[in-house]
Structure 1
Amino acid sequence: MLKDNLSLQLYTVRAKLVEDFEGTLARIAQIGYTKVEAFRTAEFADRLAETLPEYGLAVPTAHFALLRDDRAFASAFATARRLGVSTVVVPMTRREQWQSTDGIKTLAHELNSAAAEAADHGLTVGYHNHHFELETKVGGVHGLEILADHLADRVALEVDTYWAAVGGADVPALLTRLGDRVKILHVKDGDATLNNKAQVAVGDGVIPVRDILTAAPNALRVVELDDFDGDILDPVEKSFAYLRELEPLV
């Protein structure tokens, strides 16, 4: 039996949340999502804690800017526990950290340190990529793979499959090489360029979604669009329907 493995990154609907926070969450639940991924989690924590249970939405993963200030670890981990988050994900790092093996090793050390402290709170730390972690290669190896080689076993990867493709990776092959390290996927589609407005509902673009999901069968699938030229809830709904058709709950 397939578990309920679909989530929605709330960054996708950030403008809708500003317009109508509760109504947007209600619509997400009406579409069929039972999970969401939080962004700017500390800022929205109170409203999420009050509203998510009302609509039956869990938040197993959330983005936190952990590495900007390690003094914020305790606060971030407390917020995660309050919301029921199990994996706190570092959403982005500086591109210049990826220009050398030493820079990547330093980042791995920072993630490992954060993960060790998170473990004391019963939490997992993850890392989310953009395109430059794949675009950067050292000795012909993608930077993200070099990072993975220096991460402690407890650190997870949230592979943004769209940005990995934009960065030049063969994404199904990349996921196969990374193996069980990949716990979460950002599933998105479009024309595989840096133009966020060209992103579309999952299944409507050029990204090999079926092969990607096959390569990471146990990962949580998090639907995301960075931008969209139209009503964002249309591709949010269409993506849900497409992914459920591919991997129905039985």
Structure 2
Amino acid sequence: MEISVQLYSVRDALATDVQGTVSRLVDLGLTHAEPYQLVEYRDELVRAREQFPIDFPSAHQSFLGDVDFPAVLEAARAVGVQYLVDPHWNPEDWTDAEKVRALAETLNQRAAAAAEAGIRVGYHNHAFELSSRLGDRTALEVFAEALDPQVILEIDTYWAAVGGADVPALLGRLGDRVQLVHLKDGDLSEDPAAQLPLGTGAMPLAETLQASAGVAYGVIEFDDYAGDMFEGIAASIAHLRSVL
């Protein structure tokens, strides 16, 4: 597993100085990062790749709705993205099996177009895809069953736990469908501000990392943090390096 970081974590710094923010992350020893709002940041990310020893193998961008998907793919190619991930879909739709399968079919269609550009698409969960039960399975697993083999999942391990999942068991069931994981820690409440550096909260992190051994990238993320964000990221990097 390679270590990456979700740039949403440093969104405040990024909003005022993209290149300076990337430089600070590189100084922490990171060589991979996961952008969000890929189309919006396209040009700055291209510049960052030229200036710093960093790449952007995965990225978040909404593309399952009514969007200019060729423009999204162009941005992904320009930035060097391998895994293009939609980060969120309407929570209400995850309570209806037909809507879940329809969403999977939309993602399959996007996957066919992306494959021509050498890009794999996927979806990133929150808590509601796991807390919603459709029969005897979670909505996320119903969704996964309907996906084309080339579609990947990025499992946010923290939000999956908040949604009630046994995360190591979930990762085991999903298998190599999971190519990316978001790694975060905290008190397992729904309050993002309660998130903490890796290894200092209630997540079963050792078991989660063991179950994630085959994924391509482990992406550190804070949705929020009461302390200094860069210090929190540095502490999480140090913990991962001590256990991986």
| Pairwise same-fold verdict (TM > 0.5) | yes
Whether 1:85 aligns to 2:88 is no
Residue 213 of structure 1: how far off its partner (Å): 1.1
1:79-129 deviations in Å (ceiling 9; x for gaps): 101111011001100011111211110111111011011111111001000
SS of the residue aligned with 1:35? coil
**Residues 81-160 of structure 1: pairs in structure 2 closer than 5 A:** 81-160=77-156
| 1:206 alignment partner in structure 2 | 202
Out of 4, 8, 12, the residue aligned to residue 9 of structure 2 is: 12
| 1:162 alignment partner in structure 2 | 158
Residue 48 of structure 1: how far off its partner (Å): 1.0
Q: What's the TM-score once normalised by structure 1's chain length? A: 0.95
Indicate if the aligned counterparts of 1:7 and 1:222 stay in contact, CA closer than 8 A. yes
**C-alpha separation in 1, matches of 2:64 and 2:141:** 20
**C-alpha separation in 1, matches of 2:106 and 2:16:** 37
| 1:61 alignment partner in structure 2 | 58
Residue 210 of structure 1: how far off its partner (Å): 1.1
Indicate if the aligned counterparts of 1:179 and 1:216 stay in contact, CA closer than 8 A. no
Residue 19 of structure 1: how far off its partner (Å): 3.6
SS of the residue aligned with 1:234? helix
**Residues 198-237 of structure 1: pairs in structure 2 closer than 5 A:** 198-219=194-215, 220-237=217-234
SS of the residue aligned with 2:108? helix
SS of the residue aligned with 1:7? strand
Letter in 2 for 1:91: P
5+ residue gaps, structure 1: none
Whether 1:22 aligns to 2:48 is no
SS of the residue aligned with 1:39? coil
Letter in 1 for 2:140: L
Letter in 2 for 1:41: L
**C-alpha separation in 2, matches of 1:18 and 1:156:** 29
Identity among equivalent pairs (%): 42
How many pairs does the alignment contain?
243
Q: What's the TM-score once normalised by structure 2's chain length? A: 0.97
Out of 37, 43, 62, the residue aligned to residue 40 of structure 1 is: 37
**C-alpha separation in 2, matches of 1:121 and 1:194:** 37
Whether 1:195 aligns to 2:191 is yes
**C-alpha separation in 2, matches of 1:158 and 1:23:** 27
5+ residue gaps, structure 2: none
Runs of 4+ in 1 over 2 A off after TM superposition: 18-21
RMSD, aligned CA? 1.0
Letter in 2 for 1:87: Y
**C-alpha separation in 2, matches of 1:154 and 1:69:** 22
**C-alpha separation in 2, matches of 1:120 and 1:23:** 34
SS of the residue aligned with 1:68? coil
